Structure 1
Amino acid sequence: MSRSWGLSGKIKDEETELAPSHMAAATGDMPTYQIRAPTTALPQGVVMAASPGSLHSPQQLAEEATRKRELRLMKNREAAKECRRRKKEYVKCLESRVAVLEVQNKKLIEELETLKDICSPKTD
């Protein structure tokens, strides 16, 4: 059961509302509370349905929990499989990029050596 203080100084819980009695304030005694009817009652003729969980036996609840667990595990396996596939794809992409950059680096080193040979003064 949850309780909360309303804006008007009333204590509210799920079923009842407690309001301070004005008589206690006049006498100086400890405040007392009056129980009021809930303000959010259902309209007449409306019947609340029983919760679906209350209609199942403990065995059915256990079977449902097992089914949900198996479904969750299956979904998790599929998600993990997809994650591993994406990771492999990402690693392959990185490896190919490394290969391209290594070739580019070799070409640039060769070009640098060629330019050094051309620009450096030759001593004979």
Structure 2
Amino acid sequence: MRLFRDMIGWVAHGEAAGDGPPDGPAGHRIIRASGVTQAPVFSASGERCGRIFDLSIDKRTGRIVYALISVEGDLGLLSRVCPAPWNLLRYDAARGGYAAPAERADLTAGPPITPEELRRVGASDSAWQDRLAIYYNP
């Protein structure tokens, strides 16, 4: 029971087990979903190209399938939301964000998904998934 009370205390104080403050040490392996959304995304060349807008999660397995990246255009304004397979992104502790193995132009050239499509099918349309898989793994 003490562990349960401690966990409730952690959550009540804005931290869950394994989480540190957003600007704190990046050595923790577990992070809350709210700590992932809004995290910066860096291109293969190290350029900051956007932020993680949202995540698509398989309801049955609990596995994150896609990161929805809000790619920034000129002057840091939102250009578009680009889905990318989650397994392609790697956490970069030094930058405090996620590294993509692609450039900004590559992310924006990938198969698009509209917010309506995302709400309706949750990115579960197999034809769309195939296009995304082929794009990122030719």
Q: TM-score range by the shorter chain?
A: under 0.3
Which structure's relative contact order is higher, taking Cα pairs within 8 Å and 6+ residues apart?
2
Structure having the larger proportion of residues in helix? 1
Question: Greater strand share, 1 or 2?
Answer: 2
- In the superposition, the TM-score normalised over structure 2's length comes to 0.18
Which entry has the higher C-alpha Rg, 1 or 2? 1
TM-score norm. by structure 1 comes to: 0.20
